[in-house]
Structure 1
Amino acid sequence: MQRNIWLMAVSIIVILILINNTAYYFLTKRTLEEALNHEMLTLAKQLEISLEQSRLGAERFQDQIGRELRAASIATQYALDPDVEKVTNEQLAELRDKLGLNHITLLKREPDDIVLYRSSDPTQLGKSTRSWDPWYTAFNQLFDDKEVTVDWLGQNLKNFWSGPFEVSSTDVSKIYKWGYYYDGASNYIVDPYISYELQDEYEKLTGVNRMIENSVKHNDSLLEISFINPETFPDGKQTIHPNGDVQEHQVQRPIFYGTYTLKSKKDTELVRTAYLSKQMVTLKEVIDGKHVFKMFIPVDVTDKGMSITDENGIPMNGYVLSLVSDYHVVQEQLDKQFLNLGLIIIIVTGLSLLIAYVGMRYYRQSRDKAVRVTQETYVDEINQMFHSIRAQRHDFLNHVQTIHSLAELSRTKELVAYTKELTGDIRLMNDIINIGNPAIAALIRSKISQAESHKIQFACSFSGLNMQEMGAKTLDVNRILGNLIDNAFDEAVKYPEEQRIVNLTGNQTAQELELTISNICAEAAEVITKPLMQAGYSTKQDEHQGLGLSIVKSIADKYKGTVSVIAEPESCISFIVIIPI
């Protein structure tokens, strides 16, 4: 039985430890994941700032190219005749080479069109611009007002307008930046232009794409970075020319910086959600066999300017930054931390079990020691009782001889007194033997000896005691009796010998066990008003801990019993303990 209790206690401790550690494990896992997500978001914000600075640098470099195109336009106009009819294509080719441009074209206004009238590129000659929206509108504004106010991307300087780098309408394999100058001194618009090579070289060295390459290269978990146009993503915008050529517009590219190779069917929806809600959106998914973690971060550039438009050609004031991370790397970091956590859990669990084992062992040893001491006391008291019985039997012949001698001498009075004393001692011993519970009988026997040494008249009477059906453990009953008797003896010794009277009765029925002890107490009526059952309270003047009656009360409460105190006439106090069976 004790082994089963021990195993049950250990099992409960192990289960509690496992539950606690499991909860701690998953809570820590969640905390680590949130910390890593926060770290990724911080990295994303840092990249956003760095990339935005690089993008702004590229935009400023493009603006500088526009200023140089304006300067080239003015130089061209000064070198040419103000009448376009007197200008030759050979002159434009010569100026092109001197100014380091790709080509120079002159635009002439006709009644219903603006055409490419002279050019250093023969393929440009005679091309109509009527379908070039919004370029055609900008050309008309230059001819009319010498200023462009069209709501589109571009660089407005005095008598000059330049659009962003864009795919050529006459050669869709080329990307150029054109400048348009007209100050009214001639009958044509000067149009110098330069290829994307210069801008591309700058961006490769210091621009956004270089920053993206370095960021991906030096970060183990980053797989891909994309600057996404949320309005044209994922297919972009294309124009079909009458000659059948398909023109992709540079300013309407779906991905205008970075790469986009790790694709998910949810990307379009998530990009749109991030752009419209202005909130970051994330996605965990397996793509091409890789467990990836995507972050879509909206970026606002309202006050910074940006060469990007929606599908209708309207300039935009924001884009979406996409970062794709290898979640396997993140998971490896988590697993490494979880391994450390697992070792800690194992060590803590082992220590907890060791402490529990030591505690249980100490408890068992303390309990066994208490049981052993109780048993030894019980054996000693039983031996004392048997010794008293053997002593009575040993002295029986002497008692008979004494009685015989008193009878022969006709000393009737002395004979009566002697036999009365003898029969009282025998009756008391028989009463002790008849208690029915050896442990209680042994306790009473030891208390009788204690009473004799203190000249206390100790009378006790028990009826119906049954060791198996007492309603409480014998050890607890003995604790109650021992504390009550000691308390009564302590009070009785305060009075003269003839008043030292203590009476103990015990009665067991089918419903309850009742123990009553009475002793002399001159101040009984006042004493019963005191908190006698409170731990630490004592009416004694010498050093007492005041625990005896408190222990009696706690044991009675343990068995749902009661303890009552009454003051009886003739200066007597009684304690009554009732324990239900």
Structure 2
Amino acid sequence: MRRNVWLLAIIMIALLLGVNNTIYYFTTKEALEDSLQHELDSVAKQIEVSIELSRNGAEKYQEQIGRELRAASIATQFALSPNVEDVSNAQLVELAKKLDMVDITLLKRNSDNIVLYKSSNPKELGYKTNTWKPWYQAFNELFDQKEVSVDWGQKLTNFWTGPFEFSTTDTSSVHKWGYYYDGTTNYILDPYVSYDGRQREYDEVTGVSKLISETVKENNTLEEITVINPAMFPLGEKKTISNNGEVVTHMTQNPIVSGTYMFKHQDDQANVKLSYEKNEKVYEDAVINGKHVMKVFIPVDVHEKAASMLDDKGNPINRYVLSLVADYGNIQKSLDKQFVNIAIIIAIVTVLSLIAVYWAVTAYRKSKDELARRAQETYLDEMNSLFQAIRSQRHDFVNHVQTIQSFASLGRIEELKAYASEMTGEIRQMNDIINIGNPAIAAVVRSKILQAEPLMVDFQTDFSNMSKLELGMKSLDLTRLLGNLIDNAFDEVVKYAEDERMVRLEASQKDGHFEFIVSNTCHNAEELANKPIFQAGYSSKGDTHSGLGLHIVKSLVEQYKGTIRLAINEPNVISFIVKIPS
């Protein structure tokens, strides 16, 4: 039975430790995930600010290029005739070289269209522009009002330019065109420069793509950074067919504005849409390309309309989405490491705890066995004392009879009466003890009577209805309970004069319970009534006493569902009333 209890205890400890370890694991995992999210938020904020600075810088650089295009337009205008018919393509070739332009084109307005009429590039000639939106609108507004109302691009006096973009006349390269018209000519001047010659160098040194590449390279956690155009992301690349049948893609309407997009997931479109529309961060925990990653989608507001990011209708977007992909493997490594460490710690603590519990239980058992042994010895001694007293009385009976006969023969009646009275009292006291229905109680009472004589203690006993005592209490426990109470009373009364050393034991069996009262002289009874006298370690007798006597009594009483209370029914007398269910 004891082995089963130990086995059950070990299993319960193992289960508790397992549950504790599991809770710790998932709590740590949640904390690390939160930490990764905060790290991503922090990195994203830095990247967001850097991207905005870089993007705004690129926009400002484009504006500077726009001013150069306007200056080139004015210089071209001074070098050419105001009548387009008087301008030759050779003149435009020479001016393009001198002004460091890729090419210069002149746009002429017809009754139903605006065409590329003269150009330093023969491929430009003859193209109609009525399908170029919103460029065609800008051309008409320049001709009509000398200013453009299109809400994106760069607008200067008599001048407008859009962003770098592919051309329908040349799909192999990216250009930026400037359009100038002040009313002194019958054509719009259109000098343009190549992205490869101007903007690319700037972007490679300080642009968004360079920034993203360096950030991913320096951060071990980040796998990818992507700047997403949320308006175009669900639609894919914007493509049109040029006049000569070539497919043209548009940089300003690319779904991926900057960075790479290698970690694709089926929920990306929904997450981008949610982040864009709700203007809130969206997190995705997934396995992509065989790697466990965490993706975050962060909306970024564009405070100034950017011509480099347009929706499918050609309008500037007011917000883009920044996507960061972080390697979840670092979290898993930290979790595995912490899990192993905590498992080792728990194993060591468990072994030490089991050893400590084993030692404690062993010591407790030894202490308990020692107490039981002492109680058993006390019980046996008291029983032997009782039987010895009975045997002594029987042995002395002949002597008592002979003494009585001698007093009677000599006619010494008074001495005979006194002797008979003394002998009768001793016999009555012994009979009262014998008539107690529990040998353990009888033995304790007899032992305490003998103990009281040398201490000059007036030990009084009063038993009623004790001949058929039925008590569901172990004899050893009953001996300990009564012995501690009476010893406690003896310890108290020996502090007083001999005529005040009174201890009284009253015992009776009533309906359903056994009651006994131990009373003794006590000059500070009322003071003790307010003290924690039943508390372990409390003693009113000084440091030489352990303070366990009354605590043991109370524990035994409660063990057998009984009650104990302190009463002060007489002056300078304290009583302990115990009731034990029978």
Same fold (TM over 0.5): yes
Shift of 1:394: 5.5
Q: Which residue of 2 is the match for residue 561 of structure 1?
A: 563
Query: One-letter code of the match for 2:131?
Result: S
TM superposition shift of 1:284 = 1.5
**Aligned residues of 1:492 and 1:502 also touching (Cα < 8 A):** no
Query: 1:321–1:274: structure 2 CA closer, same or farther, 3 Å change rule?
Result: same
Do 1:306 and 1:317's aligned partners in 2 also have CA atoms closer than 8 Å? Answer: no
Q: Indicate conservation of the 8 Å contact 1:563/1:578, yes or no.
A: no
Matching of residues 424-463 of structure 1 within 5 Å = 424-453=425-454, 454-456=456-458, 458-461=460-463
User: How far off is 1:141 after superposition?
Assistant: 1.5
Q: Retained in 1: the 8 A contact 2:146–2:181?
A: yes
CA distance in 2, matches of 1:290, 1:493: 86
TM-score normalized with structure 1 length: 0.86
Q: CA contact under 8 A between 2:305 and 2:317: conserved in structure 1?
A: no
Residue 103 of structure 1: aligned partner? 103
1-structure distance, mates of 2:339, 2:57: 44
Normalising by structure 2, we get a TM-score of 0.86
| Secondary structure at the counterpart of residue 52 of structure 2 | helix
Matched, 1:37 2:37: yes
Contact map agreement 1:564 1:577 (CA 8 A) in 2: no
Tell me, yes or no, if structure 1 residue 202 matches structure 2 residue 202.
yes
Displacement of 1:109 in angstroms is: 1.7
Matched residues in 1 for 2:15 and 2:465: separation?
A: 49
SS of 2:28's equivalent in the other structure is helix
Distance 1:2 1:391, change over 3 A: farther
Gap regions ≥5 residues in structure 2:
none
Residues of 2 paired with 1:9 and 1:433: CA distance?
Answer: 48
Matched letter for residue 372 of structure 2: V
Q: Distance in 1 between matches of 2:576 and 2:22?
A: 54
Report the AA paired with residue 54 of structure 1. Answer: S
Q: Is the 8 A contact 2:379 2:479 kept in 1?
A: no
- Deviation at 1:479? 4.7
1:181 alignment counterpart: 180
Deviation at 1:548, TM superposition (A): 7.2
What secondary structure, in the 3-state scheme, does the structure 2 residue paired with 1:295 have? strand
CA shift in 2, pair 1:355/1:107, >3 Å = same
Distance 1:572 1:261 in 2: 94
Write the deviation string for residues 220-244 of structure 1: whole angstroms up to 9, x where unpaired: 3322211111001141322234543
Cα distance change on mapping 1:184 and 1:578 into 2, 3 Å = same
Tell me if 1:532 matches 2:522: no
The aligned residue for residue 93 of structure 2 is: 93
- In the TM superposition, 1:139-288 aligns within 5 A as 139-151=139-151, 153-198=152-197, 199-234=199-234, 235-241=236-242, 243-288=244-289
* Cα pair distance change 1:196/1:388, threshold 3 Å: same
Q: 1:5 and 1:435, CA in 2 relative to 1: closer, same or farther beyond 3 A? A: farther
Change (3 A) 1:142 1:378: same
- 1:182-221 CA deviation, whole Å, 9 max, x = no partner? 2223222111111221322321222111111122222233
Seen in structure 2, the aligned counterparts of structure 1 residues 330 and 458 have a Cα distance that, compared at 3 Å, is closer
Question: SS of the counterpart of 1:197?
Answer: coil
Q: What percent of counterpart residues are identical?
A: 53
For the residues of structure 2 that align with 1:159 and 1:245, how far apart are their CA atoms?
32
CA distance in 1, matches of 2:308, 2:396: 128
Shift of 1:516: 3.7
* In structure 2, distance between residues paired with 1:251 and 1:143: 26
Q: Quote the RMSD (CA, aligned, Å).
A: 3.6
Q: Matched residues in 2 for 1:106 and 1:271: separation?
A: 43
Q: Displacement of 1:84 after TM fit?
A: 1.5
The equivalent residue for 1:370 is: 371
Aligned residues: 571
Relative to structure 1, the CA distance from residue 479 to residue 304 in structure 2 (aligned partners, 3 Å threshold; closer, same or farther) is: farther
Q: CA 1:23–1:146 in 2, change beyond 3 Å: closer, same or farther?
A: same
The range that moved more, 213-222 or 313-322, is 213-222
Spell out the pairing of 1:124-139 with structure 2 (5 A cutoff): 124-139=124-139
Question: Which range moves more in the overlay, 550-559 or 247-256?
Answer: 550-559
Question: What residue identity is the alignment partner of 2:270?
Answer: E
How far the C-alpha of 1:407 sits from its partner, in A, is 5.0
SS at match of 2:453: helix
- Report how far residue 81 of structure 1 moved: 2.1
